[in-house]
């Protein structure tokens, strides 16, 4: 068994965007030259992110899967030189090779520049709309890249003293440049619950008023400070629908980088039925 095999971790098929599978190589984070060495390695694959959008080399027709564009490092040198942030995502064993994936943020390009520079490789699309159609492991890599680049974009200044921060630990940390503050900042994920509430025969669904006609969803919401995830399920269901629930059971989790959540899936039995 491979320690990162997503099929072996729980015995269940991984959820959408939850395949993982990369060896994140935490031991490399202490190397201050990590990013530069990745730029110089022929096995490095570049994962461009532009304003939260991911690059696809092919948007498949009917019956075809969209193909994410992972660029060989030697072909992406012009992008690397203009990237604002770089993050080492990890390594993946593929046959005799072990490519390393490096996310880069090229959001500084305006829309026309991004389109022109990337035309030979593909186009930028919203992962949220396309991800159900793509390979599980590749989708997880894109989700990881999107989440990390988004975190960097929000944390360019220290939340303690307000001074600029700089990246460290292969892109997995940002440090305050004010020596008197010296705070370190780390990627954060917001825990959110999503739940199938039922009375055995019926399921409780909700919708936003701006959604397309006929579109419904399970109820969901963020976990608040000072509560358990089970409490969050009961509270969110009651706040959104007025339904009281019992027998709350955890099922599975799923990364949801839109923008930075971890979805925790539950079932719950409805005690009341008046909405």
| Domain end marker among 109, 138, 154 | 154
Read off the pTM. Answer: 0.91
Q: What would the pLDDT profile of 229-238 be if each residue is shown by its tens digit?
A: 999 999 999 9
Q: What is the CATH number of the domain that holds 255?
A: 3.90.79.10
Span 121-136, average pLDDT: 89
Q: Are 217 and 197 in contact (CB under 8 A)?
A: no
| pLDDT tens profile 42-79 | 999 999 999 999 999 866 556 677 889 999 999 898 88
Shared-domain flag, residues 123 and 218: no
What CA–CA distance (Å, rounded) separates 49 from 141? Answer: 12
Please report the pLDDT score of residue 78 as a whole number. 86
Is residue 138, in this structure, part of any structural domain at all?
yes
Q: Is residue 146 part of a domain?
A: yes
Percentage of the chain beyond pLDDT 90 is 72
Q: Which long-range contacts (CB under 8 A, 24 or more apart) does 226-235 make?
A: 229/191, 229/193, 229/264, 229/266, 230/266, 232/191, 232/193, 233/193, 233/195, 233/266, 233/268, 234/268
pLDDT of residue 179: 96
Total Cβ atoms within 10 A of residue 259 = 13
The answer to whether residue 275 sits within a structural domain is: no
User: 214 lies in a domain?
Assistant: yes
Note whether 83 and 214 are same-domain residues: no
Given a cut of 90, whether residue 132 has pLDDT beyond it is no
* Any domain includes 51: yes
Question: Are 123 and 222 contained in the same domain?
Answer: no
Verify that 168 and 198 share a domain, yes or no. Answer: no
Asked whether residue 74 falls in the same domain as residue 16, the answer is yes
User: What is the DSSP code string of the chain?
Assistant: --TT-HHHHSSSPPPTT-----B--GGGGG-TTHHHHHHH-TTEEEEEEETTEEEEEE---TT---EE--EEGGG-HHHHTT-S-EEEEEE--BTTB-PEEEEEE-TTS-HHHHHHHHTTT-EEE-HHHHGGGS-HHHHHHHHHHHHHHHHHHH-SB-TTT--BEEEEGGGTEEEES-TTT--EE----EEEEEEEEE-SS-EE-B--TTSPTT--B-EEEEPPTT--HHHHHHHHHHHHH---EEEEEEEEEEEETTTTEEEEEEEEEES----
Are 27 and 111 in the same domain? yes
pLDDT at position 47, please?
Answer: 97
More confident residue, 3 or 224: 224
12 & 140 share domain: yes
Instruction: Based on the fold, state whether residues 179 and 51 are members of the same structural domain.
Output: no
Distance CA 229, CA 126 (A): 29
Give which of 69, 31, 29 is closest to 53, Cα–Cα: 69
The pLDDT of residue 15: 85
Q: What is the pLDDT of residues 2-53, one digit of tens each?
A: 667 777 888 888 888 988 878 899 999 999 999 999 999 999 999 999 999 9
**Alpha-carbon distance 195 to 241, whole Å?**
13
Q: Are residues 148 and 224 in the same domain?
A: no
Query: Do residues 162 and 178 both lie within one domain?
Result: yes
Asked if the structure places residue 1 within a domain, the reply is no
Residue-number span of the structural domain to which 179 is assigned: 157-185
Alpha carbon distance 134, 65 (integer Å):
6
Residue in the structure block whose two tokens are 């396309």: 130
Considering the domain architecture, whether residues 214 and 230 belong to the same structural domain is answered as yes
* Residue 27 and residue 100 in one domain: yes
Residues 33 and 63: their CA atoms lie apart, in Å, by: 43
Contact 271, 245 (CB under 8 A): yes
The confidence score (pLDDT) of residue 13 equals 83
pLDDT over 60 at 205, yes or no: yes
User: What's the structural domain count of the chain?
Assistant: 3
Whether the predicted pLDDT of 96 surpasses 70: no
- Is residue 96 assigned to a domain? yes
Q: Would residue 63 count as lying in a domain?
A: yes
| Average pLDDT in the chain | 92
Spell out the residues 6+ positions from residue 7 whose beta carbon is closer than 8 angstroms to its own. Answer: 13, 14
């Amino acid at each position: 068994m491979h320690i990162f095999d997503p099929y072996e971790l729980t015995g269940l098929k991984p959820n959408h965007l939850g395949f993982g599978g990369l060896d994140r190589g935490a031991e490399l984070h202490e190397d201050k030259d990590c990013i530069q060495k990745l730029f110089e390695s022929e096995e490095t694959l570049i994962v461009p992110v532009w304003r939260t959008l991911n690059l696809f080399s092919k948007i498949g027709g009917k019956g075809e899967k969209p193909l994410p564009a992972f660029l060989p490092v030697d072909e992406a040198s012009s992008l690397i030189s203009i990237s604002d942030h770089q993050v080492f995502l990890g390594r993946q064993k593929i046959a005799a090779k072990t490519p390393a994936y490096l996310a880069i943020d090229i959001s500084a390009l305006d829309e026309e520049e991004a389109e022109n520079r990337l035309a030979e490789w593909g186009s930028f699309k919203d992962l949220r709309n396309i991800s159900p159609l793509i390979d599980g492991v590749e989708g997880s890599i894109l989700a990881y890249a999107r989440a990390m680049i988004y975190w960097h974009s929000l944390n360019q200044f220290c939340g303690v003293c307000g001074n600029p921060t700089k990246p460290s630990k292969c892109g997995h940390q940002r440090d305050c440049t004010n020596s008197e503050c010296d705070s370190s900042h780390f990627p954060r994920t917001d825990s959110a619950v999503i739940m199938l509430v039922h009375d055995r025969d019926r399921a409780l669904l909700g919708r936003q008023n701006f959604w397309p006609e006929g579109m419904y969803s399970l109820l969901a919401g963020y976990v608040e400070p000072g509560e358990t995830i089970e409490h969050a399920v009961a509270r969110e269901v009651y706040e959104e629908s007025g339904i009281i629930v019992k027998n709350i059971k955890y099922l599975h989790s799923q990364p949801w980088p839109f923008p930075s959540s971890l979805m925790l899936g539950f079932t719950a039995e409805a005690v009341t039925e008046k909405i």
